[in-house]
Amino acid sequence: MRSSYWREGVADASVNDYDEQLNCGGFEYMWGPGKGQCGACGDRVFGIKENEYPGKYSNAPAQRAYRSGKEINVTVYTSGNLLGYFFFRICPFRDGPNLLDLDTCFTSRSPLVINETGSTRYYPGSLKGFHDLHLIIPANLSCQHCILQWNYITGK
């Protein structure tokens, strides 16, 4: 996630000390003014979106190149036991006058299959720490710049 690139030593990546708390503006905001919605990259649904282009944490360059139909390795770190499950989606990115509405793109896409589970969901259970997963990129996906979205539907 771009808001965590600074932890990997990526040059010019902006530091986000709260990168493990991209929670849609918090419970009160999300279920009040946000009307139960969340921005595509964990920001508040209304207002400044620091984790979406051209936001504060979107300045780091793309980090990897992958082929459609192949697996990608993903590591998710959880600092607490929130139960629930993870799922992932991927969308092509478009810049300039044709800037893509990420919220619409992600909600229109099916979640990626996770090799470890054979389904689109991964249940971390009570495990805290690193979760190493392998996602299968759709065979029909082609984009010069894709954006991977991680969702954690918590049980708390």
In this model, does residue 94 exceed pLDDT 80?
no
The pLDDT of residue 132: 96
> Which pLDDT band, with edges at 50, 70 and 90, does 95 fall under?
low
Contact 44, 34 (CB under 8 A): yes
Q: Rounded to the nearest 5°, which phi and psi values hold at 19?
A: -65, -20
Segments making up each domain of the chain, as ranges: 1-63, 64-156
Mean pLDDT of 15-40: 85
In this model, does residue 60 exceed pLDDT 70?
no
In this model, does residue 62 exceed pLDDT 80?
no
* Average pLDDT over all residues of the chain: 84
Question: Regarding predicted confidence, which is higher, 95 or 90?
Answer: 90
Structure confidence by residue, pLDDT tens digits, 115-136: 999 999 999 988 889 999 999 9
Mean pLDDT of 50-66: 77
Structure confidence by residue, pLDDT tens digits, 73-88: 999 988 887 889 999 9
Question: Regarding predicted confidence, which is higher, 62 or 30?
Answer: 30
The pLDDT of residue 36: 86
In this model, does residue 109 exceed pLDDT 50?
yes
According to CATH, the topology of domain 64-156 is Immunoglobulin-like (2.60.40)
Kindly list the distances between the CA atom of residue 148 and the CA atoms of 107, 108, 121, in Å, as whole numbers in the listed order.
13, 14, 15
Q: What are the DSSP calls for the chain, one per residue?
A: -GGGGGGGT-TTPPP-TTGGG--TT-HHHHHTTTTT---TTSS-SSS--TTSTTSTT--SPP-----TTSEEEEEEEESS---SEEEEEEEE---GGG---HHHHHHHSPPPEETTTTBS-B--TT--EEEEEEEEPPTT---SSEEEEEEEE---
Contact 156, 88 (CB under 8 A): no
